[in-house]
C-alpha cells in the first residue's frame, strides 16, 4: 500500500477519535484559556508561565541593601544577629561564593569585587522538590518552587539537595527575631525550612516582587521566561548572561549580567 495513503487513513482515524473526545468533554477546554496574572479567576494552566529574574550586577551598589531589607520585612524573615540561626531569603555575596564553579579566567578586579545577589533560583529541574519526602516543597504551575509550610516536617533533605544554599532552617521561634512584623504575610515556626517564594504572595495581588520594586538602581528585572515578548527575554537576548552552577543541569530561572 502507498505509505502516504496509509498515513492519511491513520490520521483520519485519529481525527475521528479526537472529535469524539472533544465533543464528549474528555479533552478539557482549559488548555486554550488565557491566564491573567492579577486576577487568577480560574485554575491556572500548568507550564504556561515560567517566572524568572535577571540581575544586572553592573548596577548593584556595594553599600545598598534595600532589596534584602524590604524582602525580609515583607515576609517576616527573622534576624537573630548570628550566623548559626541565620534565616535568609535573599542576600549579598561575593563572586567566588555565587559562582564558585565559574571557569572564566582573568576577570577584572572590579567584577570580582562587585556584590552579587543570591536567592532561590527556582530551578526548572529543582533538586529540592525531588528530595522532599512530604512534597512540602513543590514546583508550582508557574515555575516557582514553592514551600507549603503546613506540610514541612523539618527533615532538611531539601537543604542538603539545594546546590545554592538558598534554604534556611528555623532553629528558633522566628517571632523572637522579627522587629517590625508585617501583617501581609504569616511567619513560620520552629522546625520548618524556608526560602524565597519569588513573591508569589505579591504576584497574586498584581504586584512585582519586593526586591524588584525596592531596587533604587532598577537592577532587577522580573518576567515570564516563556513569553518571547517579555522585558526579561529582550534583556536576555541583548546581553551576555550567566546562571549559577549551570553544569548541574538544574536550569535556574535567575540570570546574571556580569
Q: What residues line the site for another protein (CB under 8 A)?
A: 1, 5, 9, 12-13, 15-16, 19-20, 22-23, 29, 32-34, 36, 38-41, 43-44, 138, 140-142, 146, 148-150, 183, 186-189, 204
> In this structure, is the dihedral angle defined by the CA atoms of residues 135, 99, 91 and 140, taken in order, positive or negative?
negative
Q: Does residue 134 contact residue 126 with C-beta atoms inside 8 Å?
A: no
- Minimum CB separation from another protein for residue 194, in Å? 10
- Minimum CB separation from another protein for residue 15, in Å? 6
- Minimum CB separation from another protein for residue 16, in Å? 5
Lookup result for grid cell 496509509: 6
What burial letters (b/e) apply to 73-100, b meaning 16+ CB within 10 Å?
bbbbbbeeeeeebbbbbbbbeebeebbe
Nearer to another protein by Cβ, of 9 and 112: the residue is 9
Nearer to another protein by Cβ, of 149 and 157: the residue is 149
- Minimum CB separation from another protein for residue 153, in Å? 13
Q: Quickly list DSSP for 188-208.
A: --TT-EE---TTHHHHTTTPP
| Nine cell digits for residue 26 | 474528555
Nearer to another protein by Cβ, of 109 and 150: the residue is 150
Nearer to another protein by Cβ, of 19 and 246: the residue is 19
Amino acid at each position: 500500500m502507498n505509505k502516504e495513503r496509509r498515513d492519511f487513513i491513520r490520521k483520519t482515524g485519529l481525527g475521528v477519535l479526537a472529535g469524539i473526545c472533544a465533543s464528549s468533554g474528555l479533552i478539557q477546554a482549559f488548555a486554550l484559556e488565557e491566564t491573567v496574572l492579577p486576577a487568577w479567576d480560574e485554575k491556572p494552566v500548568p507550564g504556561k508561565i515560567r517566572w524568572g529574574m535577571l540581575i544586572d550586577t553592573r548596577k548593584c551598589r556595594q553599600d545598598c541593601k534595600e532589596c534584602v531589607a524590604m524582602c525580609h520585612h515583607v515576609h517576616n524573615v527573622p534576624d537573630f544577629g548570628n550566623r548559626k540561626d541565620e534565616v535568609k531569603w535573599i542576600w549579598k555575596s561575593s563572586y567566588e561564593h555565587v559562582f564558585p564553579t565559574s571557569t572564566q579566567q582573568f576577570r577584572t578586579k572590579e567584577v570580582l569585587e562587585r556584590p552579587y545577589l543570591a536567592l532561590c533560583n527556582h530551578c526548572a529541574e529543582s533538586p529540592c522538590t525531588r528530595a522532599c519526602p512530604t512534597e512540602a516543597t513543590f514546583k508550582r504551575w508557574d515555575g516557582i518552587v514553592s514551600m507549603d509550610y503546613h506540610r514541612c516536617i523539618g527533615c532538611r533533605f531539601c537543604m542538603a539537595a539545594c546546590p545554592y544554599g538558598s534554604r534556611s532552617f528555623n532553629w528558633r521561634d522566628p517571632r523572637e527575631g522579627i522587629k517590625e512584623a508585617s501583617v501581609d504575610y504569616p511567619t513560620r515556626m520552629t522546625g520548618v525550612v524556608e526560602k524565597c517564594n519569588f513573591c508569589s504572595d505579591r504576584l497574586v495581588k498584581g504586584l512585582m516582587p519586593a526586591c524588584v520594586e525596592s531596587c533604587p538602581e532598577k537592577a532587577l528585572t522580573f518576567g515570564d521566561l516563556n513569553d518571547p515578548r517579555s522585558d526579561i527575554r529582550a534583556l536576555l537576548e541583548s546581553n551576555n548572561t550567566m546562571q549559577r552552577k549551570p553544569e548541574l543541569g538544574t536550569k535556574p530561572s535567575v540570570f546574571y549580567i556580569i
